[in-house]
Chain A
Amino acid sequence: MYAPTTHILPLTTIQRERLLPVPGTVNVRINQRVSATDVVAEGRWAREHVLLDVARTLRISAALADKLIRCKTGDELAPNTLIASGRGIFPREVRTKREGRVVVVGGGQVLLEVGDVNIELRAGLPGMVTQVTPERGVMIQTAGSLIQGVWGNGRIETGLMISMMDKPDSVLDVSRLDVSQRGSVILGGVCIHPDVLRAAAELPVRGLILSSLHASLISVAQQMRFPIVAMEGIGTLPMNNAAYRLLSTNVKREVTVNAEAFDRYSGARPEVIIPVPITHEPALPNDIEVFAAGQQVRLRAAPYYGTVVTLVNLRAGLSTLPSGLRAPAAEVRTESGELLLVPLANMEVVG
Chain B
Amino acid sequence: MPTSLVEGASLLAVDVGATTTRAALFDVVEGTYRFVALGAAPSSAEAPASDIGLGVREAIEKLQAISGRAFLNKDRALILPGQPDGSGVDAFAATLSAGQSLRTVIVGLLADVSLESARRLAETTYARIVENIDLTDHRRADAQIDALLRARPDLIVITGGTDGGASRSVQKMLEAVGLACYLMPAEKRPAILFAGNQKLNDEVKELVGQLTPALHFSSNVRPSLETEDLDPASFELAQLFTRIRRGQLRGVEELEGWSRGHIYPSAYALGRMIRFLSSGSESGVLGIDLGASAATIAAGFNGKLTLRAYPQFGMGEHLNTLQQHTDLEAIARWLTLDIPSSTLRDYLYQKSTYPSILPATAEDAAMSQAIARQTLHLATRKARQDFPAEVRSARPDLLPFLELISASGGSIVDAPTPGQSLLLLLDALQPVGLTHFMLDRSGLLPLLGAAAGHNNLLPVQVLDSGILQNLGTVISVVSRTAYGNPVLRVRLNTPDKNEVRIEVKQGSLEMIPLAAGQSAKLTVQPLHRAEAGFGAGRAQTIPVSGGALGVVIDARGRPLQLSNDAVRRRELLKKWLWTLGG
A49 at the interface (CB under 8 A from B): yes
Q: Chain A residues near B349 (CB, 8 Å)?
A: 215, 233-235
> Which residue of A48, A262, A325 is within 8 Å of B146 (Cβ)?
A48
A171 at the interface (CB under 8 A from B): no
B145 at the interface (CB under 8 A from A): yes
Segment with Cβ contacts to B, from A10-18, A87-95, A177-185, A299-307: A299-307
**A–B Cβ pairs within 8 angstroms, 27 of them:** A2-B44, A2-B54, A5-B48, A22-B185, A23-B185, A47-B146, A48-B142, A48-B146, A104-B179, A150-B353, A215-B342, A233-B349, A234-B350, A234-B353, A235-B350, A264-B47, A265-B47, A267-B46, A287-B48, A288-B48, A301-B364, A323-B360, A324-B365, A325-B359, A343-B357, A345-B42, A346-B360
Report the Cα distance A288→B49, complex, angstroms: 7
B578 at the interface (CB under 8 A from A): no
A51-B141 in contact (CB<8A)? yes
B58 at the interface (CB under 8 A from A): yes
Q: Chain B residues near A103 (CB, 8 Å)?
A: 182-183
Report the Cα distance A234→B141, complex, angstroms: 41
B274 at the interface (CB under 8 A from A): no
A323-B361 in contact (CB<8A)? yes
Closest to A215 in B: B345
Q: Chain B residues near A233 (CB, 8 Å)?
A: 349-350, 353
Report the Cα distance A266→B50, complex, angstroms: 8
Question: What 1/0 mask marks residues of chain B from 410 to 421 whose CB sits below 8 Å from any chain A CB?
Answer: 000011110000
Q: Chain A residues near B140 (CB, 8 Å)?
A: 51
B317 at the interface (CB under 8 A from A): yes
A2-B183 in contact (CB<8A)? no
B363 at the interface (CB under 8 A from A): yes
Question: What 1/0 mask marks residues of chain A from 127 to 155 whose CB sits below 8 Å from any chain B CB?
Answer: 00000000000000000000000110000
Closest to B141 in A: A51
B41 at the interface (CB under 8 A from A): yes
Number of A-B residue pairs having CB atoms within 8 Å of each other in the complex: 135
> Which residue of B46, B50, B345, B362 is within 8 Å of A323 (Cβ)?
B362
B416-A324 in contact (CB<8A)? yes
A111 at the interface (CB under 8 A from B): yes
B175 at the interface (CB under 8 A from A): yes
A321-B47 in contact (CB<8A)? no
Secondary structure type dominating chain A contacts: loop
**B66 CB to nearest chain A CB (Å):** 12
Closest to A47 in B: B146
B48-A264 in contact (CB<8A)? no
Contacting B at CB under 8 A, from A224-244, are 233-237
Question: What 1/0 mask marks residues of chain B from 316 to 356 whose CB sits below 8 Å from any chain A CB?
Answer: 01001000000000000000000000100111011001101
A325-B49 in contact (CB<8A)? no
19 A-B pairs besides A322-B362, A325-B414, A346-B357 with CB distance below 8 A are A2-B41, A2-B58, A23-B185, A47-B146, A49-B146, A104-B182, A215-B346, A234-B349, A234-B350, A264-B46, A265-B46, A265-B99, A288-B49, A301-B350, A302-B347, A302-B361, A325-B365, A343-B357, A345-B358
Closest to A3 in B: B42
Closest to A48 in B: B146
A343-B179 in contact (CB<8A)? no
B100 at the interface (CB under 8 A from A): yes
Report the Cα distance A278→B35, complex, angstroms: 58
**A293 CB to nearest chain B CB (Å):** 19
> Which residue of A104, A323, A341 is within 8 Å of B364 (Cβ)?
A323
**A291 CB to nearest chain B CB (Å):** 11
B305 at the interface (CB under 8 A from A): no
Question: What 1/0 mask marks residues of chain B from 132 to 173 whose CB sits below 8 Å from any chain A CB?
Answer: 000000001110011001000000000000000000000000
**A103 CB to nearest chain B CB (Å):** 7
Closest to B360 in A: A321
Report the Cα distance A111→B144, complex, angstroms: 13
B438 at the interface (CB under 8 A from A): no
Q: Chain B residues near A262 (CB, 8 Å)?
A: 353
